[in-house]
Amino acid sequence: MPVDLTLTDEQASIQETVRRFVDERVLPNAVRNDIEHHLDMGVIEGMAELGLLGAPIPEEWGGQGLDFISEALICEEIERGEAAFRTLISVHVGLNSLALLEYASDEQKERWLRPQARGEKLACFGLTEPAAGSDVAAMQTTAIRQPDGSYLLNGSKSWISYASVADHALVFAKTDPAARHRGISAFVVEPKEDAGVTTSDYRDKLGVRAGSTGELAFDDVHLPADRRIGEEGEGFKIAMYGLDHGRFTVAAGAVGVIRACLEATVRYARERETFGEEIGRRQMVQDKIADMVLDYETARLLVWQAAVRKNQGVRNTRETSLAKWHATEAAFRTAHQAIQVHGAVAYDAETGIERYFRNARAPIIYEGTTEIHKMMQAEHALGYRRMNG
């Protein structure tokens, strides 16, 4: 089967538009926002105006109806500028909106998906808990059905991107605590409106300091029956579906980190001289740059492979897992090598290089650690797990 990697005119136009937006609106303030732990809501408003917060959502639900190659290009360019804004795409679009598109009723889509796709409301995804990360079935948050059919939500979620600014949260809780993952259900919570919901932010994080990361806490939150997405007990399936989309955007964003570090390192290697020669002439520097090139090309190919399967509408857990695992590890490795080539210069926050290094560490953990993805791939190869089909 022939493979054509040429971008369509529409895809190339989207790439150029987002690249220009990042150059003009994100990069000029990226270092200062990171240093000051400042979430620039003006950039998010700009992303909404461009339609980036609903890019792959069909036009009938307020989105742009773009394909997943376009979504990958958007994430690559956005994270070339700042990881915090690609993280927003991951939780708002990948984890939340696309899950609603698949599992919500038309009435629920009208109420929550449409304003999200238009960028009028921001959304987050509440799965992780202090004692439940990779082991989702260990979650302790409960949503107990009441005699009138409503639910009473209690518990907490941790390390939730955009928890304190989101209008809508797709939250997972046990409706049958004894049934482990089969007893998990999904609900839409409105943190700014629902009584009993409190949010808080983490401050001194290693990376993604220009973004919002925090906690959601639920104390006897009353949820009408129409807040449940899907059937009772479908929550685990909905969460895994969302993760397939969220992991894809993480992988695509990591490609942007690799490219940013590669471009910065090439520029520096041509400008910096030692012993009367550009350091780019040094074999060890070339060795590092060659590794960056290989990581960029392979990571992008794995992301695009997953994108093609998404465009075909077939399950892509295996391809997305591979892309997320490889691209995030490659991004951190490339940022490390970029610092090595730049030397002491890269230790200065004003250069921006150390920001890429710090920001590239978290994606190796969230939305499936490297170890989880290795286990998934090995078990699939061994026949113990069927990821696709």
Question: What positions carry a catalytic annotation?
Answer: 367
Q: Do 54 and 118 contact (CB within 8 A), yes or no?
A: yes
H or E element in which residue 268 lies: helix 235-271
Token pair of 100 as six digits: 């609603």
DSSP run (H or E) holding 320: helix 317-342
Between CA 389 and CA 115 the distance in angstroms is 33
Element (H, E) at 222: strand 213-223
CA gap 375, 368 in Å, rounded: 10
Do residues 145 and 175 make contact, with C-beta atoms less than 8 angstroms apart?
A: yes
Q: What is the rounded CA–CA span in Å between residue 116 and residue 122?
A: 6
For residue 331 the two structure tokens come to 């991004």
Distances in Å between the Cα of 136 and the Cα atoms of 130, 263, 322, 326, 364 are: 11, 39, 21, 23, 18
Question: In one letter, which amino acid is 227?
Answer: R
Q: 38 near 32, Cβ under 8 Å? A: yes
- Count the helix, strand and coil residues of the chain and give each as a percent rounded to the nearest 5: 60, 15, 25
Q: Give the type of residue at 179.
A: A
The angle, 0 to 180 degrees and rounded to 10, between the axes of the packed helices 283-312 and 317-342 is 160
**Contact between 367 and 90 (Cβ < 8 Å):** yes
245, with CB counted inside 10 A (0-12, 13-18, 19+), is: buried
How far, in Å, CA of 255 to CA of 300, rounded?
6
Q: Where are the alpha helices (DSSP H) in 125-181?
A: none
